[in-house]
Structures are given as C-alpha cells and as structure tokens.
Structure 1
Amino acid sequence: MVPTVAAMTNQLPTRLTWQQVCARRLQVHALARPAKDARPSEIVAATAGTHAQVMSAAELGIALRIEGATRVDVRHALWNEHSLIKTFGPRGTVHLLPAAELAVWTGALSAVALGPSPLPDSVRMSPDQTEAVLDAIGTALLGTELTVDELTEAVADLAGPWAADPVMPAFQTYWPRWRQVQHLAGHRGSLCFGPNRGRNVTYTNPRRWLPSFRPAAAEEALPRLLRSYLRAYGPSTPQRFAHWLNAPVSWAHSVFESATGQLCQVDVEGSPAWLPAGESDVPDEMPSGVRLLPYFDGYAYRVGNQPPEHLCPGRAADRILGGNFQVLLVDGVVGGLWHQRRSGRRIAVTVEPLVDLTPAQRGELDLQVCRVGEVLQGNATLTIGRVTVGSHG
C-alpha cells in the first residue's frame, strides 16, 4: 500500500471536491483557456502524451490548446523541429511524445509489467527471438526510413526468415511474426514513425533525429512518468494509473511506493488520491467553458482518470461510455458529442448537446467551431442535431 500523508507527515490531507479536480484538469490541459506562446511539445508534455492513431485528430487537439495555432504548427514540430516524436506510447497505442522527454518515456514504458500474450503458442516468439527481432529493428532503421514491407525484409535478413512468417491474423490478412513486438520496439526506443511515403507509413530510429538519445534507467524513469501522469490527470490512484498504462494493479502500487517521497495524498470527497508533492493547489474559479475534443482526445480525458460517473454524468454515460467519440465538454464534463465532415475547404460540424446550453455557452460553441475551421485551414459551419456516426475504433 502507498503510505498515507498522515503516516509520512502527521498532517491531514488536503480536501478537494470533484469540481475542483475538474477545474485543475481544465487548467493543466490548457482547456480553461488556450495557452499563449506555447509550443506543441509543451502541450503534449502537459497532457502526458497525445494519442495519434488519427493524426488529424492529434493535430486538432494540440492546436486548439494554443492561441492562434493551426495544424501546420504541429506538423512543423513533428517533422521539421523534431520536438515531437510519433511512436508507441501508453497501452501500446500510437502517441505523440515530447522529444525532450523521450528518454523518460522509453525507460518507463519498457519497464511496464506485461500481461500474458493472447497469441497462440505457434505464433509467439521466445524471449531470445524477441530480443533478436528488437535488435534487428533498431539496426535496420538506423539512418533510414523503411515501409513495413521493407522493414519486414530487413528484419528477416538480420534475425532470420522465421521473423517474417505470416502468422498473425490481422484485418482479413496475416502479418509477419515480428510485428507482435512492434510496439515494444517503440517502447525500447529503437523505432518511431517517419513521414509517410505517399500512402505508406514509414518507420525510423529516433536516434536519426536525436543522436544523444538513450532510454533512461527504469528506477529514474518510472517515478518521473508517474509524476507526469499525476500532473496531467491527478489526483489519481494506483488503480487508475494501471488502467492508463494497461498494466497490473500490483505493479502500479509498487511504482507509487517507489515514489512515496515525491507524492502527496489528498482527499477527494472522501476518497484518497495522489498528486505530485507540492502541486495540490487548485484554481479559484469553478470549471467553466465549452470545448470540442477530437477523437481519442476525449477518450484520453476519460481514461486518464476515472470515475466515469463524474466525467460523463446523466445522458452522457449512456451515449458515449464504451465508445471513442468526439466529445463536447461543458464546464469540464462531457455534455455532448460532435462530428465533422470535410469537402474541400468546407467543414460541416454537427454537435449533439446532451445538456441544455445557455446563450453564453451557445456563443462559446460558435467560437469553438470557428477555431476548428482555423486549425484545419477550412471554413467550418455549425449544425445542432443528432450525431449519427458511430464511435471510432
């Protein structure tokens, strides 16, 4: 168990309400008001990574948090400055991570306890084969960018033809055996995404852009990643940290215990939770404002810190829980969902509120739709109506 504040300091923990927690989240995530003069990498650091399975959604989510920014600024940070790195992050999913923090992320993610493989014995690789493939990936990508087919050939040449056996069922086809550890190569810091080559995704080694990069030692990286998570999504608990990383709860408890001196306990309406030490202050104002969060942004907002009944109250729970929707935040909690459809420069935005919007909130929604158009470099129009598009996979 994580020691309590009373046990460590003989002081009672700070008491917070869920509204105060929500106000803190909005402020930290630059959702209370867009940040002035912030760099995309600073926004990504503040939110403990940005989900980037849909790159256009990542660009929108980051740029909406920076006053006057567009998707061009995010692309420049990723492909020109290399202050952002696109790779495999929490839960093995595609993320943008700050290049300045890549050593911490890779050192921590490569130390996350893994659950049992869901693959059959005939598909799995032995520990020695796994290491051979991971070494081959890192070697093959040094100094170049390869498509998945080109990387398959290179891994087979370096590790052995068995690595390219098409044995993994995926999307009505079979992937080569090595791809079961593709995300682990990202976690080890030997693979990241390169710029697309036409419609083909490419991969490279992050050392091409960050020559001095090396993953940090786990004992240093894990407490630092925990503090980043708690800064972005706290107050939180080992159970929620485990959920965020898709890791065993017992392992998450051990990470909290290793960082005991760097954490402070607070009381959130009767439930204990933790923040980084010295960071228990909350904004004076209550959560307010209307914000549009794109795909995976709203999902991360929920997954980062449950319980869902506080973030998705009333009709929102029935409408969006269990799916990945673009969500409408109203005063810091989910108050609707939205969708956009693009045709040339025209962007038709449909918003389905699940709460009654005041005239002031309706005016804020108009401004948010305009910002979506600016970020995506188009002309956005708003329709209030039912969103008929299903959740994103």
Structure 2
Amino acid sequence: MTNRSAVVPRLSWPDVWGRRLDRHGLSTPVRGRPADAVAAMCGAHAQLLSAAELSIGLRVAGATHNDVRDALWNERSLVKTFGPRGTVHLLPAHELPLWTGALGALPPASTSMHIDARLTPDQTDEVVAAIAGALADAELTIDELTAAVATRTGPWAADPVMPAFGGMWPRWRQAMHLAAHRGALCFGPNRGRKVTYTSPQRWLPGFEPAPAPAALAGLVRRYLHAYGPATPQQFAQWLSAPRRWAIQLFDSLASELEQVEVDGHPAWVRAGDTAPPTTPPHGVQLLPYFDAYTVGCHPRERLFRGPAAERALAGGQAGNFPVLLIDGTVAGVWHGRRSGRRLKVTVEPLTPLTAAERRDLDDRVERIGEILESKPQLTLGPVTIGAHA
C-alpha cells in the first residue's frame, strides 16, 4: 500500500501510548495558546462546550476555561463548527481552510431517510448556497435561519420531514453539516440561551476552503501525527467515511507514508516518523466527556482493555464517560459536579491505585479545579452517573 522498507520498524503498545500522550499535550502540556492544543489533537469535540474547555485546558500550561472562551469568542483563534463525523468541534481558525477543504471532499454519506424526505443533489447545493447567503452578514438562530433558507429556496426547504428528538425538523437541515464542511456556516455566540450561526468569512476575511487533494493529504498527515500508527480503516472510522475510500486515499499518498508493525499488526505513520518515545507512558490523567484522545485512539480493545470496555464504553462508543487514564490506557471513570465555586470529583478506579498513582490523581484533580476556577474535593468510589447520550 505504501512505502515499505526492507526491515519494517516495530513498536510496542506502550510505545504507541507514549507517542500519543506526548503529541496530545497530555504527558507534557503545550506551552502555547488553546489553538495550538486543538491543532495538536486534530480538533476538540464540543458537543458539550464545557467538556471541550476542559479538554483544551488540560493540554495548555496554566490555561483556564475562560482562556478557551476568549480564544473562541474574542481572539477568534478557534472556530466552533461541525467537524469529523458531523459532530460539533472546536477547530483552529488558521486551519479552517484545510478542514473545510478536506471535509467538503468526503463522499456523500448514506441515509436511511425515506426517499420522499431526502434532498436531491441539486436541492442540497441550493440549500448550501441559501445558507451562505443568509449568514454572510448575520448571526441567526435556527428558526431565523429556517425562515431565511425557505425565502431563498422555496417552502419545500422548510417542510418538517426529519424525525428528531421527538419532533420533526425542516428538510433543509439535512444539509447543515455539509454547509459547515463547505465553509458556509459556523457557530456564532449564543443569543441568551439560543444558539446562533454565522459565516466564517465574517471572522476570517478572505477565507475559502483549500483545494481538496492538498487538504485531504494535510488531514492524513495531522491524523497520523496525533493518532498514528493507524490504519486507513481507523482513519475512516474517525471521519465516518467509507473504508474503501480511505484505503484509496492512503494509497494515493504512498510516497509520504511508511508501514510499521505494532504487536504483529501492520499500521501506518508518516515516512520517517517511526521512533519510539523517549520515555515510556506514565502517570494519571482525567479526561472529560468526548475527549479527542478517548474518541480517536484505536484500536478500542487496546485502549479499553478488559473491564474498561464494560465500564467506560456505551454500546461500543467511546467518549460517553469521562475516563481515568493510567499510563495511556483507560483504567476507570470519573464524574465532576459543580455547586457554586465547589467541585465534587468522584473517581472510580477499576484496580487499586498505587501510592504514586494516588499522588498523581490528587494533582490531576487540583489541575481540573484550576481550569474550572473551582475548589475541588476528591472522593474515590462508584460513579453513579450513566453514559452521556
């Protein structure tokens, strides 16, 4: 598939965890801005913005949740938009041309929606153009955007045909993620309790998606740096893209990639990036809901070993529980509950902690308190909160 040397480099699983922890800014925090940490982990999942703030804060020396908010809404060095898998992410503003160029080039996703409810390809393009026009100089709520799209396209776009959360969404919303992937839409600041949407061009003058071939190649490089060694199939799962398409993409980048072997299994890295970490993975981490490391690292059976798979996965999905990491793999779950300035942290280890691990855990809890600007209190015991949807 890709470059093969006469002797295939071999890495152990501890080598892999050590590389990933280091490159995610978890073994040693990034000494830079929140956008630097977000770039390092290939985007911060922001379905829960508070969890994204914690993910980033854990990776940036001295940062608090307010530093992340400032980067997002004041500096504009971060952009909130729909990223990999169509899920809400924070992405570095300076990398948005690459991300939109790559995500906008993904093959169309299959749908189980009834044919009478689907958008045709021409309707999809019309809706994306309508979204771009409506948001060019505005920040609109979802209801305002629905009205604006219907005005520009026709009432068919507002037909309530999409089952969602016990109700029905208008037809045009099938193209909402695609509009973001094509660079026509991102999130604006909330208007009270209401979410708004706007055009990234309002904040990034001259912005446009990068050409697809260069953008896809750049995304593969970034993914392999953060999550490698990895396979095309794992890259496909990370993006929610077809596996055959991902294999063909890796094949097209043959001169840039190199095969390695991890515990007898082939995987891929950027050519020349085969060195093990200088130190083995060590220490304790507390990662929040949907942290990029938890969601993006594969294979899952290595990250969530034995009882961790039963306790910290939800139907095979990662990210639905905040997790305790020890030496790079999942070793428990945790939960934090804020009340005013106080933060109650409950940690449920799956095996007894050593004295050194307990000291590390105390330090991690203190750091979370600093990020959230709260006074933390740690309890070891069962976590009774279920998985987040």
Q: Is contact 2:3-2:257 (8 Å) kept?
A: no
1:117 pairs with 79, 91, 111, which one?
111
**Aligned partners of 1:161, 1:71: CA distance in 2, in Å?**
42
- Rounded to whole Å, the distance in 1 between the matches of 2:257 and 2:95 is 20
Alignment match of 1:361 (pick from 357, 361, 370): 357
Which one of 265, 273, 281 corresponds to residue 279 of structure 1?
Answer: 273
CA separation in 1, counterparts of 2:121 and 2:278?
A: 53
Supply the distance in 1 between the matched residues of 2:213 and 2:25 (Cα, whole angstroms): 30
CA contact (8 A) 1:243 1:303 kept: no
Letter aligned with residue 241 of structure 1: F
What residue identity is the alignment partner of 1:380? P
Report the equivalent of 2:4. Answer: 5
Which secondary structure does the structure 2 equivalent of 1:167 belong to? Answer: strand
| Partner in structure 1 of residue 17 of structure 2 | 22
TM-score normalized with structure 1 length: 0.96
Correspondence list, 1:233-382, <5 A: 233-297=227-291, 300-321=292-313, 322-323=316-317, 324-382=320-378
Alpha-carbon distance in 1 for matches of 2:84, 2:209: 16
1:209 partner amino acid: W
Cα displacement (A) at 1:288 = 0.3
Q: Is the 8 A contact 2:3 2:256 kept in 1?
A: no
Aligned length: 385
SS at match of 2:39: helix
Q: Is the 1:5–1:264 contact (alpha carbons within 8 Å) kept by the matching residues of 2?
A: yes
SS at match of 2:74: helix
Q: What is the TM-score with the length of structure 2 in the denominator? A: 0.97
**Residue deviations 1:293-336, cap 9 Å, x none?**
00000xx3244232222111221111112351000000100010
Distance change in 2, residues 1:305/1:373 (3 Å): closer
Which ranges in structure 2 are unaligned for 5 or more consecutive residues? Answer: none
Tell me, in whole angstroms, the C-alpha distance in 2 between the residues paired with 1:110 and 1:66: 30
Deviation at 1:4, TM superposition (A): 4.4
Identify the range of structure 1 (266-275 vs 200-209) with the bigger mean alpha-carbon deviation. Answer: 266-275
Letter in 2 for 1:341: R
Bigger mean CA offset, 288-297 vs 271-280:
271-280
How many Å separate the matches in 1 of 2:310 and 2:322?
15
C-alpha root-mean-square deviation of aligned residues, in Å?
Answer: 1.1
Query: Which structure 2 residues correspond to residues 45-84 of structure 1 after superposition, within 5 A?
Result: 45-84=39-78
Q: Which amino acid aligns with 2:238?
A: W
User: Structure 2 counterpart of 1:70, which letter?
Assistant: T
Range 194-203 or range 319-328, more displaced = 319-328
CA separation in 2, counterparts of 1:91 and 1:296?
13
- In structure 2, the partner of 1:391 is 387
1:217 paired with 2:216, answer: no
Identity, % of aligned positions: 58
1:42 aligned partner: 36
